[in-house]
Amino acid sequence: MSTTTKCKTKYLAKSAIIYTAVSAGLILSAKVLFAQEARSITIVPPGAEFRVDPGGKTEGILKVVNSSNTPLTFKAQIKDFIVDDTVGTPHILPDNTLSKKYSASAWIAVSPDTFTIEPGKTQQVNYYLQVPSDARPGGHYAAVVYQPQEVIGVRGTGAGVETHLGTLFYVRVNGDIVENATVTKFSPENAFSEYGPVKINTQIANYSDSHIRPIGIVVVKNLLGQTIFSGALDEHNIFPEASRDFTTEVGDKLMFGPYTAELRANYGTNNNLTLFASTTFFVLPWKIAGIALLGIIAIVLLIIFLRRRKKSAQHQTTPPPAPQA
Lowest-confidence pick of 102-111, 251-260, 290-299 = 290-299
Burial of 199 (0-12, 13-18, 19+ CB in 10 A): middle
Residue 293, pLDDT score: 66
Residue 13, pLDDT score: 34
How far, rounded to the nearest angstrom, does the alpha carbon of residue 75 sit from its chain's CA centroid?
Answer: 31
Confidence grade of residue 245 (pLDDT, cut at 50, 70, 90): very high
Confidence grade of residue 287 (pLDDT, cut at 50, 70, 90): low
Do 278 and 293 fall into the same domain? Answer: no
- Give the type of residue at 54: P
Q: Does residue 11 sit within a domain?
A: no
Tell me the H-state helices in the chain.
286-317
Q: Does residue 323 sit within a domain?
A: no
Q: Does residue 126 sit within a domain?
A: yes
Residue 303, pLDDT score: 80
Going across the sheet that includes 181-188, the strands are 181-188, 198-206, 242-250
Mean pLDDT score, 218-236: 92
Residue 117 belongs to domain with CATH number? 2.60.40.10
Q: Does residue 307 sit within a domain?
A: yes
Do 65 and 37 fall into the same domain? Answer: yes
Mean pLDDT, the chain, whole residue set: 81
Which of residues 31 and 254 earns the better pLDDT score?
254
Residue 16, pLDDT score: 28
- pLDDT score of 151 more than 90: no
Do 235 and 215 fall into the same domain? Answer: yes
Give the end of a domain, one of 173, 195, 225: 173
Q: Does residue 10 sit within a domain?
A: no
Neighbours of 49 (CB within 10 A): 21
Residue 289, pLDDT score: 57
Do 256 and 217 fall into the same domain? Answer: yes
Do 232 and 160 fall into the same domain? Answer: no
Q: Does residue 105 sit within a domain?
A: yes
CB proximity list for 167: less than 8 A, separation 6 or greater: 28, 43, 45, 46, 47, 48, 62, 143, 144
Residue 286, pLDDT score: 56
Query: How many Å is the Cα radius of gyration of the chain?
Result: 32
Residue 316, pLDDT score: 67
Q: Does residue 1 sit within a domain?
A: no
Q: Are strands 192-193 and 273-283 parallel, antiparallel or unpaired?
A: parallel
Do 265 and 311 fall into the same domain? Answer: no
Mean pLDDT score, 23-40: 44
Do 237 and 129 fall into the same domain? Answer: no
The total number of structural domains in the chain stands at 3
Do 271 and 298 fall into the same domain? Answer: no
Do 263 and 277 fall into the same domain? Answer: yes
Q: Does residue 127 sit within a domain?
A: yes
Do 144 and 226 fall into the same domain? Answer: no
Residue 167, pLDDT score: 93
Do 273 and 144 fall into the same domain? Answer: no
Do 238 and 267 fall into the same domain? Answer: yes
- pLDDT score of 103 more than 90: yes
Residue 163, pLDDT score: 57
Mind listing the pLDDT tens digit for each residue in 80-92?
A: 999 989 999 988 8
Give the end of a domain, one of 138, 173, 208: 173
Residue 288, pLDDT score: 62
Which of residues 5 and 229 earns the better pLDDT score?
229
The domain of 72 spans 29-173
Confidence grade of residue 7 (pLDDT, cut at 50, 70, 90): very low
